[in-house]
A and B are shown apart, each in its own frame.
Chain A
Amino acid sequence: MNVSSYPRSRALASYLKATAWFLVSLVLTLLGLVLVTFLIARVVPIDPALVMVGDRATPEAYQRAREVMGLDQPLYWQFLVYVGSVATGDLGRSVMTGRDVLADTMRAFPATLELALAATLIGTLLGVPIGVIAAVRRGRLTDHIVRLVSLVGYSLPIFWLGLVALLIFYARLGWVEGPGRIGIAYQYSVPHMTGFVLIDALLAGQWAAARNAFSHLILPACILGYVSTAFIARMTRSLMIEQLSQEYVLAARAKGVPAATVIWRHALGNVMVPVITVITLTFAYLLEGAVLTETVFAWPGLGLYITQALFSADLNAVLGGTLIIGVCFVLLNRGTDLLYRVFDPRIR
């Protein structure tokens, strides 16, 4: 009688176990990230207490500063204190801006997100079809061209590409706006709603401001977009090649299903989950590429924040920014794992 409920409860138990394990490993990885930034801060050759009191201070004052900063505590205790403050959102104060690092990074984050999302959009719209076409025409001229173009995308120093693009499209041709996120004229007129300047301007109905913001966004977005197109196209190609060699493709073709349906609906439909994973991972990678791109385009995002903090030796800001990007990276990675679990019945 109870036969049918038995496997279900066991499935539930194994599901709960998997979920618990997922959460535990996520927390452990995040703790590991915090440990890495903590250790980086510890290898710093400068003594933070000495910086605070100056090298002419009396030994007593120095000692007091060490105690105030908790530097006299054992290392594991200092780490626990650090974890506690990070967990409550306290990343310290930035020397450069004089504000809380978390507040600073949250202010810069939408700009990076806007850029990375725009680039991912370009990469998806171009990369997936290009990858499919290369897979279909495998070994032919089209395939070789796609391969070369994506290898070039892997090989370009992104800061250099940014400078060359600025030189050509901004300085010479004048097709786009130059560095920055929006012209000074519109800087204070666009209300802050979503944090994405382009969308804010559109929502406020300020068409001129929106056009200006778009004109600022398009060049850096295309540059990062090229890189993500290269990644996405290459991965889509190899996924599609594997899929197109399956027997069901042959069967569908044999019974007269149009080639386009087989390729774009059957085969692409079956690789959609891994393709979405690749897109997510590319997006995570763009957070990294954004550091150099933002520096070149004076784009006020997280990357520019970190590099500026580097030059003013603002360690809290550098480590805080690093940690935020690391956390995003981990969450995106784990998010794709979850995606697999939800959509791929073989793993479920």
Chain B
Amino acid sequence: MATASTWVDWLTTDSPESRLQGRLAQFYQTFTRFMRNPLAVCGLAIVVTLVTAAALAPWIIPYDPLATSLGSRLAPPSAQHWFGTDHLGRDIFSRVLWGSRTTLAIVVLVAILIGPIGMTIGVVAGYFGGKLDRVLMGVTDVVMAFPRLILALAFVAVLGPGLENAVIAIAITGWPAYARLARAETLSLREREFVVAARLQGASPLRILIRYIAPFCIPSVVVRLTLDMAGIILIAAGLGFLGLGAQPPAPEWGAMVAGGRDYLIDKWWVATLPGAAIFVVSLGFNLLGDGFRDVIDRRVA
């Protein structure tokens, strides 16, 4: 019965006195293991910076991202315009900062669409099995059979360009991986004692799915989502580059790269700097997801 002298002692105890302490201790250990991986910490820093920039953008941008000023068009990077200006004299640094909101919005919207949709389909298919399972997994396999960007392109082609349609298209192409994941988890849970006990007590299938099975699928779905974020960003940027994402004059990174293509040779900063932002952010998510998976994997093993 040692009383915890410091927070660290309390968190690293081998005999937790409450459920909360046990959970926090486990979380703390996961966290310290995560922090020991320098690449993962870099990733975390990048993602935190992105979120902060997106949240504070209205207050920290030096110029209006939409304000054109033809007098200072295509100005090279300088103290006034850190990233230079584009062909309409708009400040690229401000536009990149403002564009972080678009990127974050796409990632969040796609994630909250594909996570639950994929999980619902996978859990239902795995729990009920039989014909329903075969049909749902058949649909999943077919959607997975297309490369994601190509299918998203085809959807945007008929839905029309725009941010909402890009999100819908990316979501339509993204859910199957989650359905498969949730199905696999459900299959391993379906015959476990606590689920069988609940079934014998007369719990409805809906109750079992929501209260007993879905909660166990959430961690792996979340890890998978973190790993998927970079992919979502790249597809969204690709659609933007092809002119199918957010429409001008909205500052979207992919579209900004496309806008700078015509001036690439002489005015390199117009196309390359927004593209660098895409790269850094997607690298950040990849590093974070990678570190995350290492930690989770080791805990599972």
* A residues in contact (CB < 8 Å) with B: 28-29, 32-33, 35-37, 40-41, 43-45, 144, 147-148, 151-152, 154-160, 163-164, 166-167, 171, 284-285, 287-288, 291-292, 295, 306-307, 310-311, 313, 315, 318-319, 322, 325-326, 329-330, 333
Question: Given A167-B268, A310-B244, do A29 and B145 touch, yes or no (CB 8 Å)?
Answer: yes
User: Is A32 touching B241 in the complex (CB atoms < 8 A)?
Assistant: no
User: Is A43 touching B237 in the complex (CB atoms < 8 A)?
Assistant: no
Binary contact readout B135-153 vs A (1 if CB under 8 angstroms, 0 otherwise): 0001101110111111101
In the assembled complex, B271 has its CB within 8 A of some CB on chain A: yes
Which residues of the other chain, B, contact A154 by a CB distance below 8 angstroms? 230, 282, 286
User: Is B230 touching A32 in the complex (CB atoms < 8 A)?
Assistant: no
User: Is B241 touching A152 in the complex (CB atoms < 8 A)?
Assistant: no
User: Is A287 touching B147 in the complex (CB atoms < 8 A)?
Assistant: yes
**Looking at chain A's contact residues, is the secondary structure mostly helix, strand, loop, or mixed?**
helix
User: Is A167 touching B265 in the complex (CB atoms < 8 A)?
Assistant: yes
User: Is B146 touching A291 in the complex (CB atoms < 8 A)?
Assistant: no
B interface residues, tally (CB under 8 Å): 46
Selected from A35, A151, A307, A329, the residue in CB contact (under 8 A) with B147 is: A329
In the assembled complex, B56 has its CB within 8 A of some CB on chain A: no
* B residues in contact (CB < 8 Å) with A: 39, 138-139, 141-143, 145-151, 153-155, 157-160, 230, 234, 237-238, 241-244, 254, 257, 261, 264-265, 268, 271-272, 275-276, 278-279, 282-283, 285-287, 290
User: Is A333 touching B282 in the complex (CB atoms < 8 A)?
Assistant: no
User: Is A292 touching B241 in the complex (CB atoms < 8 A)?
Assistant: yes
User: Is A35 touching B158 in the complex (CB atoms < 8 A)?
Assistant: no
User: Is A164 touching B275 in the complex (CB atoms < 8 A)?
Assistant: yes
A-B contacts besides A159-B238, A295-B241, A322-B146, 5 pairs, CB < 8 Å = A37-B154, A159-B254, A160-B275, A315-B157, A325-B146
User: Is B279 touching A151 in the complex (CB atoms < 8 A)?
Assistant: no
User: Is A33 touching B286 in the complex (CB atoms < 8 A)?
Assistant: no
Which residues of the other chain, A, contact B138 by a CB distance below 8 angstroms? 28, 32
User: Is A152 touching B150 in the complex (CB atoms < 8 A)?
Assistant: no
User: Is A291 touching B158 in the complex (CB atoms < 8 A)?
Assistant: no
User: Is B290 touching A32 in the complex (CB atoms < 8 A)?
Assistant: no
User: Is A155 touching B286 in the complex (CB atoms < 8 A)?
Assistant: yes
Pairs A-B, 9 closest by C-beta atoms: A160-B275, A32-B142, A288-B147, A155-B283, A155-B282, A44-B158, A322-B154, A157-B278, A171-B265
User: Is B39 touching A148 in the complex (CB atoms < 8 A)?
Assistant: yes
Question: Given A288-B147, A288-B149, do A151 and B272 touch, yes or no (CB 8 Å)?
Answer: no
Selected from B153, B241, B282, the residue in CB contact (under 8 A) with A322 is: B153
Write the chain B residue with the least CB distance to A178: B265
Which residues of the other chain, A, contact B230 by a CB distance below 8 angstroms? 154-155
**Nearest CB of A to B80, in Å:** 24
**Nearest CB of B to A280, in Å:** 14
Which residues of the other chain, A, contact B147 by a CB distance below 8 angstroms? 284-285, 287-288, 325-326, 329
